[in-house]
Amino acid sequence: MSTESVPDWPPAVAGGTGSPDESYLLRLYVTGVTPNSVRAIANLKRICEEHLQGRYQLEVIDIYQQPELATHEQVIAAPTLIKELPLPLRRIIGDLSNSERVLVGLNLRRRD
């Protein structure tokens, strides 16, 4: 399990365009070090730093290592980012290269 937790949890600073008080619990399910996985991790970190700085917790889970979590969390596509909190739960699939859609998925931007 490779988990990266951002140390300053709970968030101290409000930012981004979503509801400023909400803190985010994100889990990113990747498959080893495939190009999609690597890209997804990099993209997600960038987006979080830009929009959710200080108010998010991110777990990166390698389903090769923990396949039972893939079953348990209903992961089909890889990579899959699950926004556990705030509700509603959302599944954002793909390498997260389309930042606009990631933000829509994270409820940080309205769907046009």
Binding residues for another protein, per CB under 8 A?
29, 31, 34, 36, 39-40, 43, 63-64, 67-68, 70-71, 74-81, 88-98, 101-102, 104-105
CB of residue 5 vs another protein: minimum separation in angstroms? 23
CB of residue 71 vs another protein: minimum separation in angstroms? 5
Coil, helix or strand at residue 12:
coil
Nearer to another protein, 14 or 70 (CB): 70
Nearer to another protein, 53 or 99 (CB): 99
- How many angstroms separate the CA atoms of 51 and 108, rounded? 8
As given in the structure block, the two tokens for residue 99 are: 């930042």
Nearer to another protein, 6 or 30 (CB): 30
Q: Any idea which residue has 């409820």 for tokens?
A: 107
CB of residue 94 vs another protein: minimum separation in angstroms? 4
Closest by CA position to 41, among listed 30, 55, 51? 30
- How many angstroms separate the CA atoms of 75 and 63, rounded? 9
